[in-house]
Structures are given as C-alpha cells and as structure tokens.
Chain A
C-alpha cells in the first residue's frame, strides 16, 4: 500500500490576519514497507504533513491518495483509511483515559464493531508487540505505569487497529535513554517483522541515522531534501543552516577529513566510522 502526495498545500487560518502557509507544493510517494525519517526544525511543517496522511487535516489544495483512494473524495471512507494509516501523536500518553490498560487498547477495535474474541486477540497481540506483559499489566490502571510504559500502551492502542502504515510524531520525546531504546527497538521490530511502513518524525539525528532507510528534510513548509541517510547527512552545512544537527559520527568523519585523513564520503553510522579509525590505527600498528 502506498501513499501518494500530489501538489499538497496547506494554509492555517486562511483569510485571517495570521494566515500562515504551513505546507507548500509537497510531492511525495511513500512506498510499501519503507522506513522514513522525517526531520526539520520546529515549525517546518512536519506535524502538519503527517496529519494529512490519514485525513486529520485536509489539503487547502492538492491531493493525498492512500492506496489509490483520494482522501478528499466524498466517496472515500475516511474511517477505513484511518484504520490503515495509524497516527501516534506527540506525548500520546496524554490521551490515555480508560480504567485499565486492556480497556484503553481495546477502545479502537471496539469502535470498529469487532467481536469480543477478535478484540481480545488484538489487544494481546498489540501488547506483545510493544513488549508489555499481558498477564501482569492488562488489569492495571494506565496511570500507575511508568512514562515509558504509558507511551507503549498508547502505541499499542494504535497498533490494535492493525494499520499498514504507522506514523509516529516524535515517539521518544521526553523519555529517558532506556525508555527511548525500548520504543526505538519496538519500532524497528514492527518494520522488520510485520513489514509495517514507518514514518517517524524525530529531532534526534542519531535515532534517524540508526533506523531510517530514507530521510526527508522539511524547511519552511517545503521538502528540501529526500534521499538515503548517507546522502542527506553528507550535507552537514545545509542541515545546520536549517537549525538541524548531523549525527556526531558524521561530524567526526568531516573533521577527520579536514585533518587529511582519507575517510570515504557518506559514512553516518558509528560502526562505519569506527571501522575507519581501526584502519588508521591498524595501519600505524604495523609500522610500530
């Protein structure tokens, strides 16, 4: 299932004194099974864009096709589209409201009108995917859980809708390193094992570098870069100019190159740069 975005424009508060063009002429195709990292500074339009992917916002002009269905078309069942494209908001745990973990995760499937057995299956399956122990936690109040656990419950609630595309808006914001690693590894597994298409909005270049296969960079409501991580992260100057970082491994490679070391362009993972340093050290060790 693919999502095609054609000539998308979006204007906030259209016609008023604070009219703001949030998105301008976006053209993108999100292919089946891709893992996309979406980056850009605050106000660049990332969150506005992802809210278009399942019809929460409708384009001011242009169109979005989800699996060939035009979201603006009255004949399109938008609820069916939302089932296929799951959206996890920033700080999703703020939306938890049910008495127990199980009820909260079951809320979506229940509204689909599924039968009890199917709902129970989905809840268990979703909890397994986010590494929450069903037996231990399903009857607990969501408000007794740790921050990382609450976030996983919220993600499980989206997964219980069994979406084919999962869009996550800053899924690790505000978590401690352990919580962050837990969320990242569950996203990695969803992509690897279930083949779910992932669009991850993130401020952490290191997280994007370690997971994404394709990086899209937004600035002032436009898509300014779109490519493989090694190509995007090799544009360190441009990224910094847009208020973004590059992964530290990229900075290190750049500075070593400036010192005259022969480090190939396009390295962005810590393991890659480590291999290069090993070569430098190894070669010298032979002389010694």
Chain B
C-alpha cells in the first residue's frame, strides 16, 4: 500500500466490524478511501454503521475482517496505535466528554505531554493550534466557562496540536446551536483549505454534508450511495428511502421539477436557487 500512501490518507479494504455477540456486522465489507486534502462527509441514519466506521479509522476499534491503513499504517498492529492516532485525530459529539484539563491550554497540551513532546515544542504547538481555531485569547480560561462551539474548537485544537493528516468529526456539531455549528464548520473548512488536512465529518445535517467534496451514505453497514454532494442529493427519492433528508433547496428544486418548472435538479444552496430563478425568467 505504500505506493498509494502519498495520495490516500485512509484506505479501507473489505472492512468489517462486528460488535461482540451481535448477529449482524455493524460495518460490512466497506472499501473506500480518504484522499489527501479531501473533505469527506459520511451520512446515514442511526445504526447505519457510520460512527463505527469512524472509530475504525483511528484504531478505537480493530477490524473483525478486512483492513484499514491510516497513512500507510495498519490499524491491526497494536504497536502502531499511538502513531495512528497522531495521524488521524478524532473529535466527538459531546464537548463536555472530551475536555480533561481545567485550563484551555493545558487541555490542548494533554496529548502532546502524553507523547513526550519537548516542553518548548509543546508551547509552540499549543499557540499554533489555538490560533488556528481562533481561541488564543481563551488560552488561560476554564473550559467550563466556554460555549459549546468554543469547547469543540478547543477539542479540535487538541487534535491539531498533534499535527494530524486527517481530522475525524463524529457528529461534533450535533449538540451545538446554529452559530456554534457554523464556528466549527468554518474552522474545519479553513484547516482543510489552508493546511491541507483531510477532514471526515459524520453528520446528520445535510447542509453540512453539502459543503463536502465527496459524500458517502451508509446503510446496514454498507456503502449505499457515494459521489459528490450534487450527485448524491439529486437522487431525492433514494436519499429519503435511506432515512435521510436532502438540503432544503434541493428539496425545493425537486418539488418545482415535479410541478413542471424546469430548474436544475442538483441545486444545493440558496444562491444557486436564486441563479436558477433568474435563468428561468431571462431564458424566455
């Protein structure tokens, strides 16, 4: 796999995971990859296997069958676990469950200290990481005084300080209000664009998935759909069958087309819908 490592951050091959004593595989023969610099969204209803898949990506779970390579490292190899987590950092759903220290900058330092990074280097990395998530002025604050969106950005800083190649967000915006969600999404998009860090988001918000480069829809532990957000969401019926929504504007385009109005089917955003309406009225 080494030769493909330059282009692919994560490669899953016939990946299968079965929870102890479960009758069905939670993840069932998934083959996929996360490319360098890619922003990937994984969708699926509850129980579809998407969170299990995410946990296989940083060796929280070890495959029951098949293989995951994270930057060329096989997650089945016990000795590589810490290296793997350095390459692929994870941010979880509940901001209150992942902050361990009583001061923001100490929380960001936690992983570094555990990895035996030099104190001088730790200082540099904390400052860079907090700057990258716009939390520098909160460095000395107590995490419990922060908003949910701020806490999640601290959690992202903790991951960033490890200089990862991939950040995985497992429903990290689910408990946040709209502005908190926006803060987190803006942060990861910027890290993706400016630092070239690959991002994998597991989400129930179709509007978030619409901003990704590529979307995977899970169902019954398998990949049910995949493609660019446009390719996936245009298939409104299929997406609904899988227990998901489409972004509101895609839904509107779908209903308009059903009513004989000739707008593009793959509209994702408000601005695109505005364009379509303008095109409609000027094309005559």
Contacts and interface: CB of A to CB of B under 8 A. Distances in A.
A binds B: yes
Interface of A is mostly: helix
Interface string B11-48: 00000000000000000000000000000000011110
Question: Which 4 pairs from chain A and chain B are nearest by CB?
Answer: A243-B179, A178-B243, A177-B245, A284-B284
A80 interface: no
Given A146-B46, A245-B178, A177 B255 contact: no
Given A177-B45, A252-B273, A278-B259, 10 more contacts: A146-B47, A175-B46, A176-B243, A178-B45, A205-B178, A206-B248, A249-B248, A249-B252, A252-B274, A255-B274
A157 B277 CA distance: 48
Contacts of B274: 252, 255-256, 259
B270 interface: yes
B264 interface: no
A255 B273 CA distance: 10
Nearest to B47: A146
Given A177-B45, A203-B177, A248 B148 contact: no
Interface string B229-257: 00000000000000111011101100110
Contacts of A52: none
Contacts of B204: 174-177, 180
B249 to A, nearest CB: 6
Interface stretch (A29-37, A63-71, A103-111, A269-277): A269-277
Interface size class, chain A: 35 or more
Contacts of B252: 249, 252, 270, 273-274, 277
Contacts of B283: 284
Interface in B254-284: 255-256, 259, 261-262, 270-271, 273-274, 277-278, 280-281, 283-284
A42 B284 contact: no
A55 interface: no
Interface string A176-189: 11111000000000
Contacts of B179: 41, 243-244
Contacts of A249: 248, 252
A280 interface: yes
A147 interface: yes
A245 B271 CA distance: 16
Interface stretch (B83-91, B113-121, B123-131, B168-176): B168-176
Given A174-B171, A255-B270, A255-B274, A243 B177 contact: yes
A259 B216 CA distance: 36
Contacts of A255: 270-271, 274
A17 to B, nearest CB: 12
A251 interface: yes
B180 interface: yes
Interface residues of B, number: 41
Given A255-B270, A284-B284, A278 B261 contact: yes
Interface centre among B47, B149, B255, B274 (most CB of A within 10 A): B274
A285 B259 CA distance: 13
B64 interface: no
B280 to A, nearest CB: 5
B102 interface: no
A277 B178 contact: no
B277 A173 contact: no
A285 B248 CA distance: 25
Nearest to A43: B147
B256 A41 contact: no
A7 to B, nearest CB: 27
A148 interface: yes
A281 interface: yes
